[in-house]
A and B are shown apart, each in its own frame.
Chain A
């Protein structure tokens, strides 16, 4: 996860309690996450377990989504501990999720694996924004701006895991702390 202070993209809106089975159904967990070609399947099937009322996140025949920001209600990422879930969103092109709250393991995986930014808002943005709208997120000021009408919403500070986010994940953080040697293959 590059330290990007400004994100802009189209939002994909979902509701409360979107669990990891909806983010990436269990039948697709058999694909390798390390094989570059095979791992594209995670992008292809990201959010494919959602009930159809939310619309398609990735178009038929595509490997990535045109939406780079997922907007959700409460408890995003509940359910299984599978790290394939934040990985699938990242592979599909998601840079950040903006939710009212997260399930613990998903939040941890998103941060420790450096897959995407799990941002929080007090406002139920999933009831405000519509899929396909463009937003800008300024991490320096902690604001999300809806481009269409310029309305602005506050993001909560990311809290005591900020150091891990800034280090790009758990391994970067541990190397900064000197907990592990830095001469192993450096991740790209």
Chain B
């Protein structure tokens, strides 16, 4: 019997010829990522357990990306940033994307990819549940708590239970106005929020090849919302093109063995998938947008690791161009690079930034912002009984700051369309199909500009 891609990566990480689901193995970690919320308590545990003079196992494999509570006056949040600075200094970290510095980047999962920290086949551990985003590049990536992370900092190792793999095969190509977010919301709806508990979620099929890297990150990002340990996608030419543009050698293509065993296989035809909306208060409450169109809203939000990438903003801009929003609408680019892309990408005579501003959207600074609530002065945070539609990844009670609020989850295109109409709206009626089909080309043109301008800093 062969191994799945996840099993192959974990076997290699454990120095074994093979592993099987259910095995408990100690693996070597390639990258440990932490941010401003979990970094300070992780460092405190590290120093408590290994001693105040102890050194990280490999400072060049520790990537610290403050992103959660940046643009706030909260004194405790500021203290967290100070503690990260102390840690980075004491440990001599090379990859510290400090807030309020020229190196600041924004949301950790998007930054990890943009800055070339994700390599196919590697084992990436992060103190954030959405670390599984990095699986879009054929890596094993999963989120852990502070204790596990502190252990990795001291030893470079972690115990992992080898997960069963659940295979999701995608066929065909999404219709204009339909996005990867719709695919993953539908999948979570089918599986339930614990349907993939303890499993790896691997996306296969020619339909995956039709999705951009940003879109694949959305698929893997929300694997954890079905309870999965990791989500991943085998590397193809599209991934390699992205990696190369970000200074990473894509390596040999690797996939699961033909004789690998999967716990379950689900198949989807992308061409007939309608946009999805997850009603409050669970990502698994997804239904076709056609079944809840017209439901009233007060607020729209675009941003986060799953909904604040270049493709997400481009999709929203295609809907917003030449229109005005009727809702309180907030948009937060995931990273500084996405923010820069808003100026560089143009649709006709306007930059994306101009399109958003002319539509009446409030633009925030790159960070996690209101995705997870945060301090009371957080940009876009919900405070009362708002009814919000959000391109983020969770809508459990209180997630965006108010337990009285109702949150619908949807794709950036659906969020934008709903903001324009002031109620839940099917975006397929508002997208210009020709521009939608040219998205990849539009992004590629912008990437050429960004990569060349980024080169000296890399």
Contact = CB atoms under 8 A, between A and B. Distances in A.
Interface of A: 17, 19, 21-22, 25-27, 29-34, 49-51, 74-75, 78-84, 86, 101, 103-105, 108-109, 112-113, 160, 169-171, 174, 179-180, 184-185, 187
A93 B161 CA distance: 29
Nearest to B47: A185
B193 A22 contact: no
Contact of B145 (A17, A22, A79, A105): A105
B396 A22 contact: yes
Contacts of A74: 194
Interface of B: 24, 26, 37-38, 40-41, 44, 48-51, 54, 69, 74, 76-77, 79-80, 126-129, 131, 143-148, 151, 154-155, 157, 159, 161, 193-194, 197-198, 227, 229, 282, 372-376, 394, 396-399, 401, 403
B49 A105 contact: no
A98 to B, nearest CB: 17
Q: Give the residue among A22, A78, A187 with the most B Cβ atoms within 10 A.
A: A78
A187 B145 CA distance: 18
A83 B375 contact: no
A25 B373 contact: yes
B37 A82 contact: yes
A27 B374 CA distance: 4
Given A82-B38, A112-B148, A187-B49, A17 B282 contact: yes
Contacts of B76: 30-32
Given A30-B80, A105-B145, A83 B38 contact: yes
B194 A112 contact: no
Contact of A180 (B79, B154, B198, B403): B154
A109 B11 CA distance: 24
A30 B375 contact: yes
20 contacts: A25-B403, A26-B401, A27-B373, A30-B69, A32-B40, A33-B146, A51-B403, A79-B394, A80-B129, A81-B145, A83-B147, A101-B197, A104-B198, A105-B143, A105-B144, A105-B145, A108-B144, A109-B144, A109-B145, A113-B146
Contacts, number: 149
Nearest to B24: A160
B142 to A, nearest CB: 8
A171 B373 contact: no
Contacts of A109: 144-148
Contacts of B40: 32
B375 A169 contact: no
B399 A21 contact: yes
Contacts of A82: 37-38, 145
Nearest to A109: B145
**A-B pairs with lowest CB-CB distance, top 9:** A30-B76, A83-B145, A109-B145, A81-B143, A75-B194, A81-B129, A113-B147, A19-B396, A83-B146
Contacts of B69: 30
A32 B374 CA distance: 15
Contact of A81 (B51, B128, B161, B197): B128
Given A50-B397, A171-B151, A184-B51, A30 B74 contact: yes
Contacts of A80: 128-129, 372
B147 A79 contact: no
A174 B50 CA distance: 12
A72 B262 CA distance: 30
B398 A49 contact: yes
Contacts of B41: 32-34, 83-84
B50 A180 contact: yes
Q: Give the residue among A26, A33, A170, A171 with the most B Cβ atoms within 10 A.
A: A26
Contacts of A174: 151, 155
A26 B372 contact: yes
Contacts of A184: 48-51, 54
B196 to A, nearest CB: 10
Nearest to A183: B51
Contacts of B197: 75, 101, 103-104
A185 B194 contact: no
A171 B155 contact: no
A22 B37 CA distance: 17
A151 B376 CA distance: 46
Q: Give the residue among A30, A50, A103 with the most B Cβ atoms within 10 A.
A: A30
A182 to B, nearest CB: 10
Nearest to A106: B145
